[in-house]
Structure 1
């Protein structure tokens, strides 16, 4: 048994919990980011960790498409095509790295499509949390056009795939401080049977 597989002591478990709780409780969206972005290696490490989300039958029904540089221009053209605009959208240029989150449905008699989409959504949220905890600015973007055929083509989607949305990633602007969000009252969202 490796060190990471050994049970944690109550003190270590409490410390780990507080660290994770703080990271989740202080997460925020950054609608404005700088031109800095995580490297491929850093992103790979984050995606590997995010792949640990609960996944019935370990289907891994998801993938991430990283768009940097000129790929963002092509995405802007696809958004324009879907929106019937003449001018390419400038939205993809609001961040140096865009992570398209794709659900890749796997044939399964046990795991329905909705559950596979939930796994992909869980991966997206976990990637967002990990990027935020690593000091990157992240915001989630969706839209009706995620299911448009221009998006399918732009992202190279197969017949069994759907685009869920994009994580826009960049550096946190200097001088900006972490804003506070109104806390959620957990008691209001818990019911007991």
Structure 2
């Protein structure tokens, strides 16, 4: 399968089975995902595996962040969650937004690689990703932000809904005429 075919076939799987890749199976995929464009090779990202009781601890942290009395069951929707963390580095050349783009690129590339390897994946976020309780549960440092989680599991027999095709013609536009200054 070509990269183009893999990208075109990618779907988000909101429901997955309890199967999940092992830590050892993840390592080469993470290494490959880490090859995204990274100005100055800062590696401004890291990933955190959440399995078993880790997911329950996350559910408690989400409940605390939202002021709920009962733990959230959302983290139990997949047996493997991969927290995506932007880990910002001091740099005069690479602004914060660009470092966050690298971390996002790693997450998206990893989701493509997991999908191509036969796993169901969805990238989930929420307002509580920026909460103190959730940051503490993940052991985030002051220079880090949680960008969400990849929920990973087996693909169920039922296929997810089809995505609308992208209208590339309307999204790829030329530079507006007369807007550039002539020297």
Specify if TM > 0.5: yes
Say whether 1:77 aligns with 2:64: no
More helix by share: 1
**Superposition misfits of 4+ residues, deviation over 2 angstroms:** 177-180
Partner residue of 1:191 out of 163, 173, 177: 173
The number of aligned residues is: 175
8 Å contact kept, 1:26–1:180: no
* 2:12 paired residue number: 29
| Equivalent position SS for 1:192 | coil
8 Å contact kept, 2:12–2:160: no
Separation of aligned partners in 2, 1:48 and 1:37 = 18
Unaligned runs of 5+ in 1: 1-17
1:1-193 alignment, distance < 5 Å = 19-173=2-156, 175-177=157-159, 179-193=161-175
Separation of aligned partners in 1, 2:2 and 2:165 = 18
Separation of aligned partners in 1, 2:84 and 2:159 = 28
Alpha-carbon shift at residue 99 of structure 1 (Å): 0.4
Alpha-carbon shift at residue 180 of structure 1 (Å): 2.5
* 2:181 paired residue number: none
Alpha-carbon shift at residue 185 of structure 1 (Å): 1.5
8 Å contact kept, 2:75–2:81: yes
Unaligned runs of 5+ in 2: 176-183
CA RMSD, 1 decimal: 1.0
8 Å contact kept, 2:13–2:120: yes
CA offsets, 1:134-193, max 9 Å, x none? 1100011101110100011000001100001010000011x2135432210111101112
Separation of aligned partners in 1, 2:158 and 2:126 = 27
Question: TM-score normalised to the size of structure 2?
Answer: 0.93
